[in-house]
Amino acid sequence: MKVAVIGAGVSGLASIKTCLDEGLNPTCFERSEDIGGLWRYTPNVENGKCSIYQSVVTNTSKEMMCFSDFPMPENFPNFLHNTRMLAYFRAYADKFDLLKYINFKTTVISVKKCPNFSSSGQWEVITEKNGKRETTIFDAIMVCSGHHADPYYPLDCFPSIKTFTGDYFHSRQFKNPHGYDGKRVLLVGMGNSAADIAVELSRVASQVFLSTRRGSWVISRVYDNGYPWDICYDTRVQTWIRNTLPPSVLCWVTERKMNTWFDHANFGLQPCDRTQFKEPLINDELASRITSGFVVVKTNAVEFSGSTVKFADGSIEENIDVVIFATGYAYSFPFLDESVINMETSKANMYKNIIPPNLEKPTLGIIGLIQPLGPIMPTAELQARWLTRIFKGLCRYPSLNDVMNDIAKKKEIFIKRFGTKRENRLQVDFVEYLDELASDIGVKPVIWRLFLSDPVLAAALLWGPCTPAHFRLTGPGKWNEARKQILTTKNRVIKATKSRVVNNQEDKSLSLRLLLGAFFIFAMIWALIV
């Protein structure tokens, strides 16, 4: 089966590897001259290519973020600078010999159904290299072209920006803080990029303003007891608790938890609509820069004139030199026909967030178009494992009716959890989503059964972080190291920071607690049975 993989970023690499594992025949097309996609920093901005600033450090931790059968080097820290991330992807491509499947400097121009699609499920792919076009027929398509290339730049919401005399541009143009010494800078937006850039510029600029309409919860990479936030947050037990609590109770609990670090209202950051569950932003320094006065939080900017900016609360800031719009990204698939994905109506309403629902044959899927509150890499990898097995007919693809019902059901749950106002349909619950794909593939560990045969492992699966190796314990693609990998996760997390050994007491008490927990559950199950 010939599979076209479009893009050689994280999603593309995982897709090529998965095709090889499944005995499919992949051909990857990558527009640029190298792998890594977004994680390959370039000093200049290229059109149509994702562009990051020099200082980008991951906001998810390495144990959560690795590919399921390729652990990260032990000497890596918990959160990685983009150069380290790229080094890891290069090592992955080397280990599984992926480069020979990639056609670089080759852009996919169009992907169309073959005339005989309803029987063959085949696609006609037109690519362009050095100005020369080529048409090839493929049996299946994995779209891995990313969603951080088209800036969302809503200048029409700020018509008066034309009268602004300073510089203004989208955050993708921002590379590093050189040249901002002594400037007065306004950032518009309140995502991870806006906060990162505000913090970075606040060290050289004379003043940084951060303008937000909605506000946001902020959490630190350094979370409970100093563990990475995702190690604590993305566990099965925590997920289960969050998804069973009534939304209002959940909001209350979450709010209290988030406000233990600092009171978000007192820092001008608290989200307007408190019942809305907004994706928190991850930043360790923002609160510190605010309390030291280097960053000043403002409401939304309503009017620009000359070098003056007026805000919704009537306040005015003068002598602004630069405005940076950190307003995020839109996504689009310019090479896909409207009949496959209609961006207007579908708003990414796809089956399992992967397959467009109106295909007669499920031979095209989109990998990595998703926003879990957790890492993308293992998510994309599991999506690829799921999709390749759909291609091969080893996972059941339901009837159109069931597909539509599933999408409608997911939408309902989404609205219940995140509210109707949230446009962002890409958001999913990390653990729940992975478990759902895994159970379709047959690689989801059966935890209750494990409590009888391997209670230590079962406890780690329930209370421990949901690391990628959880999906290599059983079923197709099983990896013999997975159990060991899972049980030693916390050791590696600690090793990454404990470069000066103090004492080992803590580690022992941790595994003792795990063991006790497992024993307790075991005893309860035993009591129920007898």
Q: Give the interface with ligand FAD as residue ranges (CB under 6 A).
A: 6-12, 29-32, 37-39, 49-50, 52, 56, 58-60, 65, 107-108, 144-146, 148, 193, 335, 368, 375-377
DSSP labels, 105-116: TEEEEEEEE-TT
Q: In the bound complex, what is the minimum distance in angstroms from residue 122's beta carbon to ligand NAG? A: 5
Work out which of 254, 276, 371, 491 binds ligand NAG, going by CB under 6 A: 371
Work out which of 18, 122, 216, 489 binds ligand NAG, going by CB under 6 A: 122
Q: In the bound complex, what is the minimum distance in angstroms from residue 55's beta carbon to ligand NAG? A: 13
Return the one option of ligand FAD, ligand NAG, none that residue 373 interacts with (CB less than 5 to 8 A, by type): ligand NAG
In one letter, which amino acid is 403?
Answer: V
Q: In the bound complex, what is the minimum distance in angstroms from residue 288's beta carbon to ligand FAD? A: 21
Return the one option of ligand FAD, ligand NAG, none that residue 56 interacts with (CB less than 5 to 8 A, by type): ligand FAD
Q: For 93, left (φ over 0), alpha (ψ -120 to 50), or beta?
A: alpha
Cβ(37)–Cβ(10) under 8 Å? yes
191: contact with ligand NAG by CB under 6 A:
yes
373: contact with ligand NAG by CB under 6 A:
yes
Work out which of 11, 27, 32, 60 binds ligand NAG, going by CB under 6 A: 60
What's the sign of the alpha-carbon dihedral 423, 424, 425, 431?
negative
- The residue among 22 and 429 lying less far from ligand NAG, judged by its C-beta, is 429
Q: In the bound complex, what is the minimum distance in angstroms from residue 375's beta carbon to ligand FAD? A: 4
Token pair in block for residue 441? 């593939």
282: contact with ligand NAG by CB under 6 A:
yes
- From 215, 186, 212, select the one nearest 198 (Cα to Cα): 186
Work out which of 74, 95, 97, 115 binds ligand NAG, going by CB under 6 A: 115
Using CB positions, name the residue nearest to ligand NAG: 192
Return the one option of ligand FAD, ligand NAG, none that residue 10 interacts with (CB less than 5 to 8 A, by type): ligand FAD
Return the one option of ligand NAG, ligand FAD, none that residue 464 interacts with (CB less than 5 to 8 A, by type): none
- Residue 236 to residues 228, 229, 383, Cα–Cα distance (Å): 16, 15, 19
Using the contact rule CB under 6 A, the part of the chain among 110-118, 170-178, 208-216, 393-401 near ligand NAG is: 110-118
CA dihedral 349, 350, 356, 362 (to 10 degrees): -160
> In sequence order, which residues have a C-beta less than 8 Å from that of residue 150 and are 6 or more positions away?
329, 330, 331, 332
- The residue among 15 and 363 lying less far from ligand NAG, judged by its C-beta, is 363
212: contact with ligand NAG by CB under 6 A:
no
* Tally of CA atoms within 13 A in the half-sphere of 72 that contains its CB: 27
Q: Report DSSP state, residue 397.
A: P
232: contact with ligand NAG by CB under 6 A:
no
Where does residue 62 rank: exposed (0-12), middle (13-18), buried (19+ CB within 10 A)? buried
- From 7, 18, 5, 22, select the one nearest 139 (Cα to Cα): 5
Backbone angles phi, psi at 495, to 5 degrees: -55, -35
Q: In the bound complex, what is the minimum distance in angstroms from residue 10's beta carbon to ligand FAD? A: 4
Using the contact rule CB under 6 A, the part of the chain among 15-23, 116-124, 479-487, 504-512 near ligand NAG is: 116-124
Q: Cβ–Cβ contacts within 10 Å for residue 239, how many? A: 20
